[in-house]
Amino acid sequence: ILVLGDVMLDGWWSGSIERLCREAPAPVVDIQSRESVPGGAANTAMNLAALGARVSVAGIIGTDDAGADLRNQLVAAGIDVTYLLDHPDMVTTTKIRISSGGQVMLRIDDSAGSVPAEALAELAASVRAAVEHRQAVMVCDYGTGVLADPVRRSLADALAGRDRAEPGARPLLVVDSHDPRPWAPLHPDLVTPNAQETARMLDLRLPDGQERVAEVGRHAGTLLEATGAAAVVVTLDRDGTVLLRPDGVTHRTWARPAAEKQASGAGDTFVAALTLARSAGLPLTASLDLAQSAADVVVHQPGTSVCSTAQLSRYLKAFADTALDA
């Protein structure tokens, strides 16, 4: 599986708060632990690797300390970084969360204002080779500019080339994007917008709670047309997910929410497990159920976490004694 997109480094700094600072009514956090883990598209890749996939990452990082840290962690997880390019004028996107007592107090984001044109051109030129021999391509587009027009066009050409060379050989294409509409010409097999992204596409405010599901279902045709996708999976955080298809088939999954305030990246886990299950030949509805289970595992873990095959197996066994071993 190829993960193409916005790779980031997530920082989790935690400590105790016992006083306010003198110069402003702000808490002083005495930092006691610092942890950095792959985030964004890199977290999706880490989840895929933890579930047993052979993963390659394509994206752009800086030649800074954060970029070196991110690359080293991906390599340590067995992920191929041949197509993870670095550029001296690029800032590796970092998101540092500062927390105390399990509550995130502040998030500090550091990212490039723009992606260097030569770095974009280099990534675009490498896409065709990166797509070769992949069973699935995951696009993780969080709007940092790494997946601008040159890269998107190159991916479209690479997918069309695979199909021309061997009809039906085009890899599964899954798009996880803050705005899936620019990817519509590529006709993804799956897009996975969350509630906020879905509301933006529909230009309306979704109701709260379970009523969101019915509202999303009423606009299935609009969402399928806007995204150009064969199927849309709308993720509704605490309310699970809903599948929308042109044939009218719908499917719900139900989340097991956690009170954990530090949980992050469950959406990355969900889309990783969904892509892997579909690549392995599971039906779409079963793939969604499996992906929801993987997401349920990570929301009960602090920080930016991944779900391994062993954790997923243990979770599924808790429901019944009929789960098969390997």
Residues that are catalytic: 268
Q: Residue 66 forms beta bridges with which residues?
A: none
C-alpha–C-alpha distance, residues 154 and 117, integer Å: 15
C-alpha–C-alpha distance, residues 158 and 140, integer Å: 17
Which string of DSSP letters, residue by residue, matches 191-231?
E--BHHHHHHHHTSPPPSTTHHHHHHHHTHHHHHHHHT-S-
Q: Residue 136 forms beta bridges with which residues?
A: 172
Q: Judging by beta carbons within 10 Å of its beta carbon (0-12, 13-18, 19+), is residue 282 exposed, middle or buried?
A: middle
In angstroms, what CA-CA distances link 193 with 12, 232, 241, 268, 285?
Answer: 26, 8, 10, 12, 17
Which string of DSSP letters, residue by residue, matches 162-177?
HHHHSTT-PPEEEEEE
C-alpha–C-alpha distance, residues 107 and 174, integer Å: 29
Q: Residue 80 forms beta bridges with which residues?
A: 56
Number of neighbours of residue 98 by Cβ within 10 angstroms: 17
Yes or no: say if 154 and 124 are a contact pair by the CB < 8 Å rule. yes
Backbone angles phi, psi at 8, to 5 degrees: -140, 170
